[in-house]
Chain A
Amino acid sequence: MKLMTCPLNGPRNISEFVYGGEVKAMPNHKTCSDKEWADYVFYADNTIKIIQEWWFHSPSGYWFIAERHTASDEILRTFDPSELYQERIDFGHEEGVKGGVV
């Protein structure tokens, strides 16, 4: 059984968590080109390195960020997203997306 340390709940079985994709900057969907949006949605470096990714602790409904190596599967660090995101990202805002930049 592989364990992951949830910043909120401590070490739990990895089967309690749902993978949520790599942490990456979202372009402004109102101003970016189709190619930029496709790049954001579909393309990825998908390489062997330590990446930051979103994870979800399903039983408690809590999203957080983990640093994990994509070949050894070692989880180096998990932390609350507030470390990276200080302001709320309002996707539907008239003036476009404010946050989304790491």
Chain B
Amino acid sequence: MPFSLLKYGLSNDYPFEKDADLPAPTELKRHYDVVIIGGGGHGVATAYYLAKYHGMTNVAILEKGYLGGGNTARNTAVIRSNYLTSEGVKFYKQSVDMFQGLSNEFDFNIMYSSRGQLTLAHTDATVRSFRQRTEVNKHFGGRTELIDPQQIKELVPTLNMNPADMPILAGLWHIDGATARHDAVAWGYAKGATQRGVELHQLTEVTGVTVEQGKVTGVTTNRGAVSCGCVVQAVAGHSSLVASMAGIRMPITTYPLQAMVTQPVKPFLDPLVSSSALHCYVQQTGRGEIVFGGGSDPYPLYNTRSTLDLKESLLASAVEMFPFMANLKLMRQWAGITDMTSDYSPIMGLSPIKNYYLDAGWGTWGFKSTPICGKTMAELVASGGKVPELIAPFSMDRFDVFRQVNEMGATAASH
């Protein structure tokens, strides 16, 4: 082994280059059919499906940082479809179905783990809304049931059934709920897309968007200008800022979202557990660490700083749910930037600029929609702007006609 190390150390021919996951960086071409701004999960998934289903490979993904380094790496990797609106449930259900086959499709393990997600109700009003969510989910083929405290005890024996003096009345048991390795999802899509000829340009920041007569014709970057047939904007956390380069104003307000993880402990918690009244969700990763998350920060900010206020209130709730966790130590904490819409639904589809497509407003529901979002955005691009039926309700101009998709099943809304 030391000899081979020495041999390759002295040679220019490294053994891994042949089967590297991503090709080496190249110069930017002067023209692409499609420019995708943002190399996160959504951007690379869109490129992947453009290449795979529509044969479009003259595509560049421009990423100012590195692949999957933004909110793709900062979410808490929850996959579920137990939303409230018909539009939302239909959409997220297809995403869950696609996630299940991704490891095979990529030949790359995304560590998909279907463990179920349990949301707790502490009031009669929440129980009623859970009944509705159960029926909407069943109607669209998802597996969701309303369960009683006895069943909850059997699923999660360590759970305190009376947290913060708010007895648990019922649970929304979403059997399809799952988790996966979020980085691997981005890597798998990027690998598949670049193998088919898509170019991924990291450390390439879009600094301007060229619009001529109401139509996008190119972008300028820190590595020069490129012309393009169309642009897909997929920059969660910076949607308003990037869109403003094209002169588009968006119905978005941007908030930080904080999360944290403990030291690893023995496996004790199989489902992902969330409390609607305590504004807290808890899950144990495959490595044994416990991940905590909650709602967004109380006021808008473009900053991934952490605050003690939010940590204290979130952990107080987590300890109410699982009292023994009071003895655990936190290992890491971080924040992501969430682009919130006022109806907790995404903004997908056309923009006021021709050939400039929006994939934005992903608040706290972006990761779980990665596959279906990529697939439908690719359809939109390949058809030259014909909006797929599945995402038509999420168009930005719904706000102009007051036709919001009121998604009260979103984490930030129910929390």
Chain A residues with CB under 8 Å of chain B are 1-2, 13-15, 18-19, 34-35, 38-39, 41-48, 70-73
Contact = CB atoms under 8 A, between A and B. Distances in A.
B289 to A, nearest CB: 28
B308 A45 contact: no
B303 A72 contact: yes
Interface in B294-352: 298-303, 305, 307-309, 342
B339 to A, nearest CB: 8
B267 interface: no
A69 to B, nearest CB: 9
B342 A42 contact: yes
Contacts of A35: 400
A45 B254 CA distance: 11
Interface residues of B, number: 24
A70 B254 CA distance: 10
Contacts of B399: 38, 42-43
B251 interface: yes
B309 A38 contact: no
Contact of A2 (B309, B400, B402): B309
A73 B303 contact: yes
Interface of B: 240-241, 244, 249-254, 298-303, 305, 307-309, 342, 399-402
Given A19-B298, A34-B401, A38-B399, A44 B303 contact: no
A34 B301 contact: no
A45 B309 contact: no
B57 to A, nearest CB: 34
Given A1-B309, A44-B240, A38 B402 contact: yes
14 contacts: A2-B307, A19-B300, A34-B402, A35-B400, A38-B400, A42-B342, A47-B241, A70-B300, A70-B301, A71-B301, A71-B302, A72-B303, A73-B301, A73-B305
A71 B250 CA distance: 18
Contacts of B400: 34-35, 38
Contacts of A71: 301-303
A38 B404 CA distance: 11
Contacts of A39: 249
A45 B250 CA distance: 7
Contacts of B303: 71-73
Interface of B is mostly: loop
B246 to A, nearest CB: 14
B402 A43 contact: no
Nearest to B255: A19
Q: Which 6 A-B pairs have the closest CB atoms?
A: A19-B299, A46-B240, A42-B251, A42-B399, A71-B302, A38-B400
A76 B7 CA distance: 60
Contacts of A13: 309
Given A34-B400, A35-B400, A38-B400, A46 B298 contact: no
Contacts of B401: 34, 38
Contacts of B252: 44, 46
A45 B251 contact: no
Contacts of A48: 241, 302
A45 B240 contact: yes
Contacts of B254: 46
Nearest to B401: A34
The interface centre, meaning the residue of A13, A42, A73 with most chain B CB atoms within 10 A of its CB, is: A42
Nearest to A49: B302
Nearest to B399: A42
A46 B301 contact: no
A14 B302 CA distance: 17
Nearest to B254: A46
Given A19-B298, A35-B400, A44 B307 contact: no
Nearest to A37: B402
A46 B253 contact: yes
A84 B309 CA distance: 31
Contacts of A72: 303
B308 to A, nearest CB: 6
Given A1-B309, A2-B307, A38-B400, A45 B302 contact: no
Contacts of A43: 249-251, 399
Q: Which of B251, B252, B401 has the most CB of A within 10 A?
A: B251
Contacts of B240: 44-47
Nearest to B400: A38
A44 B302 contact: no
